[in-house]
Structure 1
Amino acid sequence: MTAEPLDVNAVTALVADAAAAPSLHNAQPWTFRYLRDIGVLRLYADLERTLPRTDPDNRGLHIGCGAALLNLRVAAAAAGLSPLVRLLPDPAYPEFLAEVHLCGTGPPDGALAQLGPAIRHRHSSRLPFRDEEIPGEVRDGLSQAADGEGAQLLFTGAWHVQSLLELVRDAEDREALAPDVREETTRWTHTELPHAAGVADGIPGEAFGPRQRGTSAPVRDFAVGRPMPGRGWAPFEKNPNIALLGTARDEPVDWLVAGQALERVLLRATADGLVASVTSQPLEWPEIRWAVRDPVSSMAHVQMVIRLGYGPEGPASPRRPVADLLDIL
């Protein structure tokens, strides 16, 4: 370890980048605590921001916090640091997700540092993409990004894309019959256009994208049947590029791994000029989650469905101020 811990301003900047990560319904379910005397930053789950109906096992919460952890590692590497990370360091406190020694020894991770500029440019795009294939070398780079974090990324064939679309519709039908799930979605998604000032979380109406004319891409409709004046319709790409992100096991530590892999893939995609949206909708129902898996692949547990392609960037979603996320001791 180096002798001098980081000052508060540097840590605040790192947490701001960490908090730019995606999360289920943009709930931003994370808090940080900096122990300045020893240069340690701790990541905790914010249990007041759980989604008990949509995410009863907190799988999505862990994935979102894992994505924030990856952003933290990228920002630290870009700042010339070599952080040392321990996942779930205290079994007695499962909400204590990771401990990051910011001033580890050795050179920074150059591959992660290169992704630093993508942190602020990555936004989910629920807009139509162009019907254009992703080159093989770009796909390989995305798969390597997932592999570098201990996860697997698999691009699905056309037949499986159709199966996924059917599973998305099945999940939508199940949600329509579950008022408690609909109420939770309504709480975290805002149909006002433009987005209400002062709201620092949830998904703004501008980020919903248009309603699909037909159903060809797995894009979640967060309006959930609510009226939304000014929102139009549009055809989406007929041959979407869909990838499944998965892990060998399905425990909290694997969800944190999946979150880091997801964000590394999304940052790599952003750096490569791609846009993306993710959906966990068919993964939120245990009865159909198993069917999302590609039966001819070796992927054991699918953690996220990712739509990738070329097209317009999505608008930024709001973020909570760092002062609400970071305690300094």
Structure 2
Amino acid sequence: MHNAQPWKFRFFHSRSTFRVCSDLDRAMPRADPTTRALHLGCAAALFNLRVAAAHAGWEPETELLPDPADPQLLATVRLASPATPESDLAPLYPAIHRRHTSRYPFTDEVIPQAIKDALSAAALLEGVRLIFPDAWHVQSLLDLVHDAEGRDAMDPAASEELRHWTRVGADVADTARDGIPDYAFGPRKRDGKAPVRDFAGRHPVAGRDATTFENAPQLALLGTASDRPREWLQAGQAMERVLLQATLDGLSTSLTSHALEWPELRWAVRDPQSAMGFVQMVLRLGYGPSGPATPRRPVHEVLDIE
């Protein structure tokens, strides 16, 4: 969430093993009190590590939650025998550098069913379901997002937490190492129904235009049967696999967690006719600008080597 980058890596050279840990100093108590979203973000970074390892020629043997006494230790990744030529991870590597969240309008071009099926299959490789809801369900989702936006606007704690992770003004945005800089806000929504979080809120941003977004956004639901830390980690890896595959397929993407941040709304997001028990993320996909890159923390802040 909000480009907080709440992860830490430690590499043990003698064992060729990474430890992936959460950084609770970067948690968001109001929007993410259970740290579910934090787990998803860390798991996305974990998946990128797996992809990078495969690209470098290693087989990444991954164990989730290896120590019950240390809940901040989310996973270990051992660089094992050389990766097989048939690895399904290495081909995703170029997309890591190309994938960005796009808060721009998408066209009305319909995503081909073959691409949707491939994205759903990508999620299944991580043990997670990805479904594309029908029109009635999309409208219900949009209503829930609108409800969540109204709740956020009336919640001082939510507004303060959002401000903490935004970087407004060239002097701040250009030197940021985390958070959402104003150049990544995208245009203000003048019209349309696309669920895009407006990080500027009611505050004007110099040079920011307003435009019309799509009225029929193409959304997908990523979900699991259960709702525990292990499933969150599986969902985060599936989320990143889907986003990387979508990037290779020429799609632009963004995420919306508005309605998932309110427990009573999150339950209503799911399709009661689906086997998906818990929605972990709502994805918006389509054809349009890919969006600008957002800043990353320097390597020495997130990686220790022993």
Q: Is residue 70 of structure 1 aligned with residue 47 of structure 2?
A: yes
Identity of matched residues, %: 58
**Aligned partners of 1:194 and 1:284: how far apart in 2?**
31
TM-score by length of 2: 0.97
In the alignment, what sits opposite 2:291? 314
Deviations 1:153-194 (A, max 9, x none): 000111111111111111111111211111010000123257
Q: Equivalent residues in 2 for 1:107-146 (5 A)?
A: 107=84, 110-146=87-123
Alpha-carbon shift at residue 75 of structure 1 (Å):
0.9
Q: Is residue 224 of structure 1 aligned with residue 201 of structure 2?
A: yes
Pick one of 244, 251, 268 that aligns with 1:274. 251
Kept in 2: contact 1:86–1:100 (CA 8 A): yes
Aligned residue type for 2:236: G
Q: Equivalent residues in 2 for 1:137-216 (5 A)?
A: 137-193=114-170, 196-216=173-193
Q: Is residue 59 of structure 1 aligned with residue 36 of structure 2?
A: yes
**Aligned partners of 1:132 and 1:194: how far apart in 2?**
38
Aligned residue type for 1:179: P
Pick one of 211, 235, 259 that aligns with 2:212. 235
Pair 1:241–1:195, CA change in 2 (3 A): farther
**Aligned partners of 1:193 and 1:175: how far apart in 2?**
26
Pair 1:265–1:106, CA change in 2 (3 A): closer
Kept in 2: contact 1:241–1:307 (CA 8 A): yes
TM-score by length of 1: 0.90
Pair 1:197–1:154, CA change in 2 (3 A): same
Kept in 2: contact 1:82–1:109 (CA 8 A): no
Aligned residue type for 2:247: T
In the alignment, what sits opposite 1:303? 280
Q: Give the unaligned 5+ runs of structure 1.
A: 1-23
CA RMSD of aligned residues (A): 1.3
Aligned residue type for 2:107: R
Pick one of 49, 73, 87 that aligns with 1:96. 73
Classify the secondary structure of the residue corresponding to 2:15: coil
Alpha-carbon shift at residue 237 of structure 1 (Å):
1.3
Pick one of 49, 70, 73 that aligns with 2:26. 49
Deviations 1:235-269 (A, max 9, x none): 11122110000011100011000000000000000
Kept in 2: contact 1:164–1:218 (CA 8 A): no
Deviations 1:200-234 (A, max 9, x none): 00011111111112241111111121221221111
In the alignment, what sits opposite 2:63? 86
Kept in 2: contact 1:82–1:106 (CA 8 A): yes
**Aligned partners of 2:186 and 2:133: how far apart in 1?**
24
Classify the secondary structure of the residue corresponding to 2:69: coil
Pair 1:66–1:108, CA change in 2 (3 A): farther
Q: Tell me the number of residue pairs that the alignment of Structure 1 and Structure 2 aligns.
A: 306
Aligned residue type for 1:149: E
Alpha-carbon shift at residue 47 of structure 1 (Å):
1.2
Pair 1:302–1:234, CA change in 2 (3 A): same
The structure whose residues are more often strand, as a share, is: 2
